[in-house]
Amino acid sequence: MNPAPPTVSDLFDPELRAMGQLPVEVHCHGFGPVDFSDLSALDLDRLEAACVAEGVCVIPTLYLHHDSLDAFEAMLDSYAARRADGELRRIVGIALEGPLLASHGGTPAATVWLPTGREWERLAACGRKGLVYTVMSPDAFAKGSGLEGGIDASSPRFEDFVPLLANSGVRPALGHFARTDPGRSAAFVERIIDLAWQSGWNGPGLPVVTDHLFNDMPLAIRHAFRTSRARADRDETIASYRLEEWTLDRADEILGPVPAAIMRNAAAGRIAACINFDGEHVDPDIAKRAIELMGAGNTMIMTDRCDSARLGRQQLHHEAENTLWYQQDGVVAAGSQPLSRQVANAREHGFGDDEIWQLIAGTAHRVFGLAGADT
């Protein structure tokens, strides 16, 4: 009989691991052949078994079609009951990417929509069933948002639904920005963070997280080098950035107002920021410097992982020069590298095991209040 492959936890000295603590895939879209966003095929037992085999916990991140809200609520009813019975110990929460996105990026366009007041109430009520965050754009209601054409005087604003979410333990996860006015978008970042903190947070851990830093936001730098042509100039470009001289005080000038606002708030402990360390979403040296500035205790590595060529009712494909998944229009839709690969990448770029454990486990357990949840 062949021995079982090592789990992610097996990659670390046991003394580094807090009692009962496992790594957490905080933002991913599919394990094995199952697309988490296909609610008719989402097999929670199979996902639980996959988590056990890989030695991780997971917060599966779903895209939500407007016509699937009923099915989403029903899935969460089942999840909550089975979690309470101790059957789903490794699935430590459920998350949404959208629907309130100023830029859909790699998210299927059909899963970007404006909830009504009643629909926000229903989404907030899902917090009591296990919904832990929903990715939303702080500039969703601003000029240049992809939702702009559907917004009218009756559309609920952040002041209407962020308190609803906070009171039920559902975090806004900041991401998917418009690019028309970065300074204005950064001001909205500050506004949503303030609103979440002032809204009577009724959940464990922190009230705000982010989608992946540097992706789908306005930037003043080139953050990724995904083709051989781009990689030919990569070393020269990175050298010109003088990463060792980056400071939070100069982040607006160096990186742009939006990533600067996120990084400063993360370093201050007001939010927890997610960043991808597959080397393709974000250049690993840029990701490393961002983590150093924010602090590993305020940062979570996310995989954005999908294991199959289908996501949110759309077909995906690989291109020759990287491991990312692409939509038909050539937009990056997801990653494909598991957490174990990202651990190896972080080691190769000089992070110590204690820092990496914080990035893949410790921060997530603190932010989502998971102490003892996965033993």
Query: Nearest Cα to 182, choosing from 268, 259, 251, 104?
Result: 259
**DSSP category for residue 308:** S
pLDDT at site 375: 44
> pLDDT, tens digit, for every residue of 201-234?
999 999 999 999 999 999 999 998 988 999 999 9
Q: Is the pTM of this model over 0.85?
A: yes
DSSP letters along 222-291, please?
-----SHHHHHTHHHHHHHH-GGG--GGGHHHHH-HHHHHHHHHHHTTSSEEEEE-SSSSS-HHHHHHHH
CA-CA distances (angstroms) from residue 62 to 34, 36, 185, 309?
A: 12, 6, 25, 15
pLDDT at site 371: 66
From CA 199, how far away is CA 151, in angstroms rounded? 24
From CA 91, how far away is CA 250, in angstroms rounded? 39
CA-CA distances (angstroms) from residue 174 to 65, 142, 192, 257, 369?
A: 20, 15, 9, 14, 19
- What SS3 state is found at 152? coil
Give me the helix-helix angle, 44-54 and 69-84, nearest 10°: 60
For each of the domains in the chain, give its residue range(s) and CATH number, in order of start. Answer: 9-13+21-368 (3.20.20.140)
- What SS3 state is found at 107? coil
CA-CA distances (angstroms) from residue 289 to 218, 223, 296?
A: 18, 12, 11
From CA 372, how far away is CA 182, in angstroms rounded? 40
Torsion 92-159-213-233 (CA) sign? positive
User: The sheet that has 299-302: what strands, in order across it?
Assistant: 24-28, 57-62, 94-97, 131-136, 171-174, 209-212, 272-276, 299-302
Question: Which positions of the chain have pLDDT values less than 50?
Answer: 373-375
Percent of the chain scoring above 70 in pLDDT: 96
CB 335 within 8 Å of CB 29? no
Instruction: Quote the tokens at residue 362.
Output: 């410790």
